[in-house]
Every structure is written in C-alpha cells, then in structure tokens.
C-alpha cells in the first residue's frame, strides 16, 4: 500500500453515524453485527496512502464512503459523525489529533479540496478574477495588483479563453466547466502539497469532463502536487491515475497500480466494477444502478461487506473480515477467496 512513502497515509480509519433506530442483529436471515450504542460504523478501518507527486484514484460506487473519507481528512465531518479509531498521517502529523486552529492553517496552505458542487464553492457576488486574486493575496502575501495579474495569468493557464475578460465575470455568467477551471486555479494558487478532487466533473458535459481531467493531469505535472482523485468511474481512473484504491460500503477492497488492477483484478467487487466498464466500452447501455442495496444490511456485516452481493462468498466471509494482503508488487486485496486459491 506504499504506506512508507505516502504523503497522506490513512490508517484503520473508522467513522460512525447514529443509526436510524434499526437493530442490525435483528435482520432476518443475515448474520449481522449489532449497531453498537445506536451507531452504525460507516467507514470500517479504512487504510490507504496517497503517494508523492502522483495522482491516486479513489473509486467506488455512490455510497461507498469516498466523500466521507475526504471530509475526515479535511476535518469537515458533520457533527453527528464520530471518528472511533485510526489515524490520518500527513507530513508527520496525525490530522485527527490537531485542533481546529491548526487544521485551518493546514487546509489553507497544504491541503485543498475541490468539492462535488463547484458553483456553490465560488462566491456568487464576487468576480472570479477577484476570487482567485484573493487566494494569492491571502496564501502568498501578494499585493492586490500583483495578485490580480497572477490570477489572470493562471486563468489563462487553465485554458480559459480571453482570460482577462472572463476574470471580470461573475460565476453565474460562466459555464459549469469554466467555473470548475476557476476553482482549480484557486486551489493551485494556494500551492497545496495535497489536492483532493471529489468527483470534480459531476454534472458537466462529457467532452468538458475529459478536458478537466487533462487539466488536472497537466497541473499535477507542473506543480508536482499529490492528488487524490475521487470518482465512481473506473474509466477516468484508467486515464488519469497511477495508483488506485477500490472501496465498497466503507471498506477498502483492493489497492493497486492502475495497470495491475486492470490486468489482474483480484477482488470479486473490482472484477464486477471492471465488467461494467467493459460493457460501457462496447457501447451497451447499462443502467447506473448503485450496487449497495441496503445500507442497514451491508453495514451490519461483521466480515466482508461485499458478502451479500458476492457470487463467490464463503461462510467465513460473513463472520471474519479478510485482512488486506499484498499479492503482487504494490497490489493489495482483502478477500478470503484469494487465501483459498493460494492454498490449492
């Protein structure tokens, strides 16, 4: 899992929410764990690292805990959520143990996050050029004139045509794709060591999406930042990332270099995800149906949370959480089937 050289290293992170009153152990026919103290463990001992100077992908369908993981890193968890275990190591510090003041400094200067909904991240009452310039003033201590000049320059570098004119526009006067470029420009102005991009192209046209991912790749090369790119789309991962983390229902199922994951997916869940990508490549319409069927059932499984949907499930998968183990260079997976296959 490259745990020794990651810039960001999440270790056994568990996060709970209050359960909606359901006693999980009472669900009929399933060996589920109790909702302890009325809480449901959503993130279940999540561990992975984000390498230096590269793009790491975090993939999993809707509801797998990708956003929750990044919100924990940023210290933005909703009040009802509780971290019940683990560490978030960043440059020698455990971010979970820092006070709000220290976190604010880190958020501004070292870790930046692009959220799913861009437009709401921009100030609707302020011209976009001024917003980017403000980032330069605050983060880099530039004078207003110098900051504005830098802002126009970086908007140009984000492939925004007529950057000087567009800098004077308000967010509502720009397209979604343009707003996303402005936001990326703002993030880069802060020169963060780590950039977390959570589904940064949601709601944008497919062509624009591809352009934004190209831009993110270019920006990574130019700034040597580490990027955690969150998406539910394995196709995007294949095009953009070197390393990938696959999550399902709050558990990390597999982590691997991208080529290795596509050539030899080890976890049945990854195999299922890849099959749907291949079907898309063959231009067959497949409905975008989330595979996480019922949060209550899935999150209540003591062992592997993919067990209720896995065609290869073993009795022990329900009872015992498979350890994540390294099966090839940097290629890790958590599946009891692999242990069995290896002993045969």
Ligand X SMILES: Nc1ncnc2c1ncn2[C@@H]1O[C@H](COP(=O)(O)OP(=O)(O)O)[C@@H](O)[C@H]1O
Using CB under 6 A, which of the segments 62-70, 118-126, 152-160, 167-175 binds ligand X? 62-70
Residue with smallest beta-carbon separation from Mg ion:
67
Selected from 65, 129, 200, 322, the binder of ligand X by CB under 6 A is 65
Report the C-alpha gap between 91 and 182 in whole angstroms: 28
The binder of ligand X chosen from 32, 67, 220, 270 (CB under 6 A): 67
Q: Which of 63, 176, 177, 300 binds ligand X (CB under 6 A)?
A: 63
User: Which residues 306-325 are close enough to bind ligand X by CB under 6 A?
Assistant: none
Give residues 22-61 in contact with ligand X (rule: CB under 6 A). 42, 60
In the complex with ligand X, which residue's Cβ is closer, 64 or 180? 64
- Rule CB under 6 A: say whether 64 interacts with ligand X: yes
**How many chain residues are in contact with ligand X, going by CB under 6 A?**
13
Total binding residues toward Mg ion, as defined by CB under 5 A:
2
**DSSP E strands: which ranges in 62-199?**
82-90, 93-94, 111-114, 194-198
Q: How far is the CB of 116 from Mg ion (least distance, A)?
A: 6
- What span, in angstroms and rounded, lies between the C-alpha atoms of 219 and 228? 13
CA distance 321 to 252: 11
Assign residue 53 a region: left if phi > 0, alpha if psi is -120 to 50, beta otherwise? left
* Tokens describing residue 116: 């799913």
**Residue (39 or 140) nearer to ligand X, CB:** 39
Is the Cα dihedral 259, 263, 266, 267 positive or negative? positive
Which residues are within 8 A (CB) of 308 and not within 5 positions of it... i.e. 6 or more apart? Answer: 30, 293, 297, 298, 301
Q: Are 90 and 194 in contact (CB under 8 A)?
A: yes
Q: What is the DSSP letter of 112?
A: E
Smaller CB distance to Mg ion: residue 109 or 116? 116
- Scanning residues 289 to 308, which ones bind ligand X (CB under 6 A)? 295
By C-beta, is 1 or 247 nearer to Mg ion?
Answer: 247
Q: Applying CB under 5 A, which of residues 67, 118, 255, 270 lies at the interface with Mg ion?
A: 67
Residues of this chain that interact with ligand X (CB under 6 A) are 17, 42, 60, 62-68, 78, 80, 295
């Amino acid at each position: 899992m490259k745990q020794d050289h990651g810039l960001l290293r999440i270790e056994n992170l568990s996060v709970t929410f209050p359960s909606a009153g359901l006693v999980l152990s009472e669900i009929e026919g399933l060996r589920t764990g109790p909702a302890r103290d009325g809480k449901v463990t959503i993130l279940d001992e999540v561990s992975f690292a984000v390498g230096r100077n590269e793009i790491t992908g975090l993939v999993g369908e809707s509801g797998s805990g990708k956003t929750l993981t990044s919100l924990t890193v940023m210290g933005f968890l909703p009040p009802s959520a509780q971290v019940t275990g683990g560490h978030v190591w960043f440059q020698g510090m455990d971010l979970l143990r820092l006070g709000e003041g220290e976190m604010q400094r880190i958020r501004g200067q070292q870790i930046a996050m692009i959220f799913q909904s861009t437009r709401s991240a921009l100030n609707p009452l302020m011209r976009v050029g001024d917003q980017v310039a403000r980032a330069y003033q605050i983060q880099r201590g530039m004078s207003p004139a110098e900051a504005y000049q830098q802002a126009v320059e970086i908007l140009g570098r984000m492939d925004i045509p007529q950057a000087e004119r567009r800098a004077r526009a308000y967010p509502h006067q720009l397209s979604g794709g343009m707003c996303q470029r402005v936001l990326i420009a703002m993030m880069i102005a802060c020169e963060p060591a780590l950039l977390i991009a959570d589904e940064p192209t949601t709601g944008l046209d497919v062509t624009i999406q591809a352009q934004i991912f190209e831009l993110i790749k270019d920006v990574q090369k130019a700034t040597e930042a580490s990027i955690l790119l969150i998406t539910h789309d394995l196709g995007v991962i294949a095009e953009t990332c070197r390393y990938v983390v696959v999550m399902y229902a709050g558990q990390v199922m597999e982590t691997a270099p991208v080529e290795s994951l596509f050539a030899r997916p080890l976890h049945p869940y990854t195999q299922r995800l890849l099959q749907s990508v291949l079907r898309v490549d063959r231009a067959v319409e497949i409905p975008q149906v989330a595979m996480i069927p019922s949060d209550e059932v899935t999150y209540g499984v003591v062992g592997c949370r993919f067990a209720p949907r896995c065609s290869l499930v073993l009795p022990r998968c329900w009872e015992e959480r498979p350890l994540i183990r390294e099966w090839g260079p940097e290629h890790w997976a958590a599946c009891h089937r692999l242990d069995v296959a290896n002993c045969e």
